[in-house]
Amino acid sequence: MIGVRSAEPVTKTPTERAPLVDAARWPLLRVVYPPDYGDGDAFVRSLGAKLHAAVARRAPGRFVVLADLRRVERRPTAGDRKKIAEMLNELADAFAPPVAEALVLRGELMRLIVQGVTFLQGDKRYPRRIFTSPEEAEAWLHERAREAGLDLPRG
């Protein structure tokens, strides 16, 4: 297990190496990835703990995820991509998987990296789409949430 069961508090402000996990508009869970995540193991543990804490406070409940990777400058290694995929699978197994996940990123290389993590994760229980703008991503998530009977607050 990667360590997603920690009770680490949800980050309210981003730092240069820690992900921001924001559940203020639940059932929208917003995750903003930092430009440089530093040590891969520490980052995966931190991300897993923050996601676990955000979802556990509201479980049982269905939710959607808006993952913003536009600031990412350092590309994850193959080993880190595998660890991220494993952590996301553990989280989906611990709770109900999200209704949908929208990923906002820039650049073809990041698109390929995200597709690689998705392939490694292998979880097809929910739809994922990649977008270039948070507005498009959120509009798509609102539609998926509505179809699932969730009331998603507007930002």
pLDDT tens per residue, range 88-123: 888 888 888 899 999 999 988 788 888 888 788 777
Classify residue 5 by burial, with Cβ atoms within 10 Å: 0-12, 13-18, 19+: middle
Q: Give the residue numbers spanning the domain of 100.
A: 20-147
CATH number of 138's domain: 3.30.750
Per-residue pLDDT reduced to its tens digit, 25-48 = 999 999 999 988 888 888 888 988
Does residue 96 belong to any structural domain of this protein? yes
Does residue 5 belong to any structural domain of this protein? no
For the chain, the straight-line distance linking the first and the last C-alpha, in angstroms and rounded, comes to: 35
Nearest to 46 by CA among 31, 57, 61: 31
Does residue 118 belong to any structural domain of this protein? yes
Check pLDDT > 90 for residue 7: no
- Between vectors from CA 140 to CA 144 and to CA 4, what angle results, nearest 5°? 70
Does residue 132 belong to any structural domain of this protein? yes
Buried b / exposed e over 102-120, threshold 16 CB at 10 Å, is bbbbeeeebeebbeebbeb
Per-residue pLDDT reduced to its tens digit, 131-153 = 999 999 999 999 999 999 999 98
How many domains, in total, are found in the chain? 1
Which SS3 state, helix, strand or coil, does residue 80 take? helix
Confidence of residue 84 (pLDDT cuts 50, 70, 90): confident
Does residue 13 belong to any structural domain of this protein? no
Dihedral class, residue 103 (left if φ above 0, else alpha if ψ from -120 to 50, else beta): beta
